[in-house]
Structure 1
Amino acid sequence: MDNKETRIELRREYPDPIEDVWSALTESDRTARWIGTWTGETGIGNTIMLSMTAEEGSEPAPAVIRECDPPKRLAMDLHNTGEPIWQVELTLTPHGDGTVLDFVHRMPRPDWDTSDIAKGWHFYLDRLGAALAGEPVPAWETYTPPTLEA
Structure 2
Amino acid sequence: MTKTHTASATGRREERDGTAYLVFERTFRAPIEDVWAAVTESDRLVRWIGHWSGDPTRGAVSFWMTAEAEDAPEETIHIDECSAPQRLVMRSARPDDHSLEWRWQLDLDESQGVTTLTFAQEVADSTLAEGVGPGWDYYLDRLVAAETGDDLDADLAAIDFDDYFPALSEHYRRELA
Instruction: Settle same-fold status: TM greater than 0.5.
Output: yes
SS at match of 2:143: helix
SS at match of 1:54: coil
SS at match of 2:80: strand
Find the partner of 2:67 among 54, 64, 70: 54
**TM-score normalized by structure 2?**
0.72
Separation (CA, whole Å) in 1 of partners of 2:41 and 2:63:
12
Q: Unpaired segments of 5 or more residues in structure 2?
A: 1-17, 172-177
Could you tell me the percent identity over the aligned residues? 33
* 1:101 paired residue number: 117
Find the partner of 1:140 among 152, 161, 167: 161
* 1:17 Cα offset (Å): 1.2
* 1:120 paired residue number: 135
**TM-score normalized by structure 1?**
0.84
Give 1:36-115 correspondences, 5 Å limit.
36-43=50-57, 46-56=59-69, 57-83=71-97, 84-107=100-123, 109-110=124-125, 112-115=127-130
Separation (CA, whole Å) in 1 of partners of 2:39 and 2:50:
10
* 1:33 Cα offset (Å): 0.3
Structure 1 segments of 4+ aligned residues over 4 angstroms from their partners: 142-145
Cα-to-partner distance string for 1:32-78 (whole Å, 9 max, x where unaligned): 001100011012x6111110011125201010000111110011002
More displaced, 128-137 or 25-34?
A: 128-137
Separation (CA, whole Å) in 1 of partners of 2:136 and 2:46:
16
Find the partner of 1:22 among 36, 44, 69: 36
* 1:93 Cα offset (Å): 0.1
- Supply the AA of the counterpart residue of 2:42: S
More displaced, 24-33 or 127-136?
A: 127-136
SS at match of 2:128: coil
**How many aligned residue pairs are there?**
143
* Contact preservation (8 Å) 1:16, 1:132: no
